[in-house]
Amino acid sequence: MDWTATSYFTYLAITVPLTVWVARTLSSNGGVFLQDVFADNTALADAINKLLVVGFYLLNVGFVLLYLRTGETVTDLPSLMEVVSLKVGVVMVVLGLIHFTNVYVFNSIRRRVRQESFRTPPLPPQHVMGARPAYEG
C-alpha cells in the first residue's frame, strides 16, 4: 500500500471541505457585518462579500495545494496520521489568521465610518460664530 498517496488523499479530503465550510460560514455571517459597514449601499456590501469569498477560496485552496507535498516518508498508519494532522492543523491556523485579518480590516473600516458619522452635524450651521446679528431698526 502506498501510504504517501493515502496521506495526500486524506489531507485533501479533510482540508478542501473544511475550506468550503469556513468560506460559506464567513460569507453568510459576514454579509450582515458588511451591510452594517456599508449601510448606505447594500449592493456594494454584497459585491464585496462575494469578492472576499472568491479571494478566500483562491488563497486557501492555493495554500492547501502548495502544502500538499510532504518531505517525510509515510510508511504506516501512525506516520500517516502524524503527517495529516500536522498539515490539517497548519491549514486551520492559516484559515483562522486570514479570518481574523479580514475581521480586523473591516472593523477598522466600520469604526472609521462611525467616527465620520459623528463628525457630520445633524443640521447645517445656522449662523457663523462671532458674526454680529444684522441691525434691524
Per-residue pLDDT tens, the chain, 137 aa: give them. 788 889 999 999 999 999 899 889 888 888 888 888 777 788 988 898 899 889 889 988 999 998 888 777 888 999 999 999 999 999 899 888 888 887 888 788 778 877 776 776 666 766 666 666 666 65
* Cβ-based neighbour number of residue 62 at 10 Å: 10
Residue 25 covered by a domain? yes
pTM here is 0.71
The C-alpha cell that represents 23 in the structure block:
468560506
**Is 32 within the bounds of a domain?**
yes
Nearest CA-CA partner of 62 in 108, 104, 95, 97: 95
Residue 48: its H or E element: helix 42-66
Domain extent at residue 24: 3-115
Number of domains in the chain: 1
Residue 123 maps to a domain: no
State the amino acid at position 41 in one-letter form.
Answer: N
Establish if 128 belongs to a structural domain: no
Q: Examine residue 129 and state whether it is found in any structural domain, yes or no.
A: no
Q: Does 132 reside within a domain?
A: no
In a domain, 75, yes or no: yes
Handedness of CA 40, 41, 45, 46 (dihedral sign): positive
